[in-house]
Amino acid sequence: MHTRATDLVGIDLPIFAFSHCRDVVAAVTNAGGCGVLGAVAHSPEQLNIDLAWIEAETDGKPYGVDLLVPQKFVGSDEGGIDREALNQLLPEEHQTFLDELLDRFDVPPMPAELRVPRGMGGMRVDPKSMAPLLDVLFEHSPSLVASALGPPPQHFLDRAHAQNIPVAALAGTVEHAVKHAEAGADLVVAQGGEAGGHTGEVSTMVLVPDVVDAVGATVPVLAAGGIGTGRQIAAGMALGADGVWCGSVWLTTEESEVPPFIRDKFVKASSRDTVRSRSLTGKPARMLKTPWTEAWASQDGPGALPMPLQPMLVGPALARIGRVAGQEGTGANDLVTYFVGQVVGAMNQVTPTRRVVLEMMEEFIDAVDRLTLSGES
């Protein structure tokens, strides 16, 4: 089918699939959608490997890359400050709180030979560490690049547009959507608060039509947040969107990057088992509700630090938790969390990515047919 969004990147299906897993990205692209690789935690070397692999697997079909390119963060006024200087900004009380939390849940120390540097999964959010990733990105041939936090910076837009690559930007409010469009974004993703990862508070049902009314005349809009079925795709497009942006639904696919103990939690979770928390990145992000998120939300806690200090603080602790979290019934297994949206309540089985895409489109067609027949009666 043709919409402004599908025509913008040259795809057949109005599905843009965000995933940290290159296998999911390639599978969705090969099924007719646009897989989008979340690459904020990649090293430049790994990003080069993964993009080359995706391009080989998809034989020139369209794919995208998503990076966190925020304009505001600790040190942004100085153009970014080095890691050692950032380490000096980590308050002792926060480290003490974290140490006591891990001790309370009997999470063993990391063996000396496995100690990891500060940072959460290699997350890069400042210009100094982001620049090498951008260099690698623009050496390849994505059909879309996305800026997931705030309006895309001018340097990002300039480099993408110089290579005729459209730029998407995620918005959690109408005001954000307008800023993105005015900055020069080619595609706006209206992401409701149901979504996993960094997200706002306004629901998808309310946000999407408001964003369409505000910027839809000039740029295509994708609906995001709580979308994992064909009926939800139809609903998003009925609200005026030109397609959908999905992330959580791919986390229980066979190709997903998450370890089995996380996937098991997803399969068992209900839509009420998620929460918006600053505990991983310093910015509000929806994830599984666990004793980890509850501890950070407690009045006895010190409160999350701003990005990028929070991921630097919690990175080593998360590595300790992740190393033994596969042991069900342990404190580490209780604490471990992962970004996911409220649609997790419908993610009840492990399925190949391609089948998920096909089932979504079959249900979408059925939903549209049902509405068409209802209108004729």
Which one-letter amino acid corresponds to residue 49?
Answer: I
Lowest-confidence range among 168-177, 242-251, 299-308?
299-308
Q: Exposure of 82 by Cβ count < 10 A (0-12 exposed, 13-18 middle, 19+ buried)? A: exposed
Pairing of strands 221-224, 274-277: unpaired
Q: What percent of the chain has pLDDT over 90?
A: 80
**Residue 29 near residue 377, CB atoms below 8 Å:** no
Would you call 264 helix, strand, or coil by DSSP? Answer: helix
Locate 68 and state its tokens.
């966190």
pLDDT band (50, 70, 90) for residue 374 = confident
Lowest-confidence range among 31-45, 64-78, 87-101, 192-206?
64-78
In this predicted model, what pLDDT tens digit does every residue of 209-231 receive, in sequence order?
999 999 999 999 999 999 999 99
pLDDT band (50, 70, 90) for residue 71 = low
pLDDT band (50, 70, 90) for residue 74 = very low
Handedness of CA 73, 77, 79, 82 (dihedral sign): negative
- What mean pLDDT is reported for the chain? 91
Q: What is the mean pLDDT of residues 126-132?
A: 66
Q: Exposure of 228 by Cβ count < 10 A (0-12 exposed, 13-18 middle, 19+ buried)? A: buried
pLDDT band (50, 70, 90) for residue 256 = very high
pLDDT band (50, 70, 90) for residue 82 = low
**Residue 87 near residue 312, CB atoms below 8 Å:** yes
Locate 299 and state its tokens.
């009045």
Q: Exposure of 205 by Cβ count < 10 A (0-12 exposed, 13-18 middle, 19+ buried)? A: middle
Q: Which residues pair with 38 in a beta bridge?
A: 66
Number of residues that make up the chain: 377
Sorted by where each starts, the structural domains of the chain and their CATH numbers stand as 4-73+125-256+351-376 (3.20.20.70), 97-120+259-335 (no CATH)
Q: Which residues pair with 222 in a beta bridge?
A: 189
Question: What single string gives the DSSP state of each residue in 3-72?
Answer: -HHHHHHT-SSSEEEEES-HHHHHHHHHTTSEEEEE-TT--HHHHHHHHHHHHHHHTT--EEEEE---S-
Locate 354 and state its tokens.
């391609």
Which pTM value belongs to this model?
Answer: 0.90
In this predicted model, what pLDDT tens digit does every residue of 348-369 receive, in sequence order?
999 999 999 999 999 999 999 9
**Residue 17 near residue 30, CB atoms below 8 Å:** no
Specify the pLDDT at position 150: 79
Q: What percent of the chain has pLDDT over 70?
A: 91
Which range of 72-81, 116-125, 142-151, 362-371 scores highest in mean pLDDT? It is 362-371
Locate 175 and state its tokens.
């005001």
Locate 284 and state its tokens.
């509000």
Specify the pLDDT at position 112: 82
Over 80: is that where the pLDDT of 247 sits? yes
Locate 281 and state its tokens.
């990145």
Q: Exposure pattern of 272-296 as b/e (b: 16+ CB <10 Å)? A: ebbbbbbbbbbbbbbbbbbebbebb
Over 50: is that where the pLDDT of 73 sits? no
Over 50: is that where the pLDDT of 240 sits? yes
